[in-house]
Amino acid sequence: MFPKNPGPIGVFDSGYGGLTVLNAIRQRLPQYDYVYLGDNARAPYGSRSFEVVYQFTRQAVLRLFAMGCHLVILGCNTASAKALRSIQQRDLPVVDPDRRVLGVIRPTAEVTGSLTQSRHVGILATEGTVRSRSYDMEIRKLFPDISVSGVACPLWAAIVEAGECDSPGADYFVKKRIDQLMRQDPLIDTVILGCTHYPLLMSSVVKYVPRGVRVVSQGSYVAESLELYLERHADMRAKVTLGGTCRYLTTESEERFRETARLFLHEEVAVSHVDIASQGQP
């Protein structure tokens, strides 16, 4: 059904935030080929139901498989929270048990135990990620002694994509959500940015978190986890091509993608439009 020859590593996001993950991965593992797919036309996923996020993410994964990817990274916290497990358990055994789909929540949860001293951790994320309690479950599965609190930040991604990261409005909304989180649990000493857009708001975040509170951005941890995964799985490593290239695909207009991607990558990229809405449908 899908190409068997080696191919690129696929990175998927509902929008643009996954570019921060892709960037970190490429910096750590520049030797591999990559293809980035953004479902920008249907973003954001944060407030959508579990079933809709699953169907949209499944369509994207199948398209990346059809393009020759044997390994796909969901560079999106909402998709990782709402769709990853279903795809791994329901779809992969049927469509191709030798292909793999990995998310961004587990690698972040795995490092949490070494980051917090107070054993109180905060999550700033989309509504969908917070409601799913995926971080709570993953962190407590690994570290039962850690207390996890989460606050949804529904406007943060829109602020980033509007290019308003350094505006007074951004500061207002960042401070509002951080204050809300710290009221929930004043003992928090580690705050995880649980949306891949949020690293672009880092300057505002560090301005308003209390002194001594660590702010965790996911990209470097996901990249390190992927490197270790490929070291452990020589069979998968052999299925990834080594050309150092990266292709960009979007379900939105190419011009819109180029303009917004510049905010994340600080460079111009070539992008192609793709329709994934019918992917995997009978």
Task: Kindly list the catalytic residues.
Answer: 76, 195
What is the spatial distance between Cα 189 and Cα 149, in angstroms, rounded to a whole number? 11
State the DSSP string of 89-120.
Answer: IIIHHHH-TT-EEE-SHHHHHHHHHHH-SSSE
Question: ∠36-39-43 over CA atoms, to 5°?
Answer: 135
The secondary element (H helix, E strand) that includes residue 9 is strand 9-13
3-class SS at 214? strand
HSE-CB at 134 with a 13 A cutoff on CA atoms is 28
State the DSSP string of 142-194.
Answer: H-TT-EEEEEE-TTHHHHHHTT-TTSHHHHHHHHHHHHHHHHH-TT--EEEE-
By the 10 Å C-beta count (0-12 exposed, 13-18 middle, 19+ buried), 54 is classed as: buried
Q: Note whether 12 and 75 are within 8 A (CB).
A: yes
Beta-strand relationship, 9-13 and 34-38:
parallel
Q: Note whether 61 and 88 are within 8 A (CB).
A: no
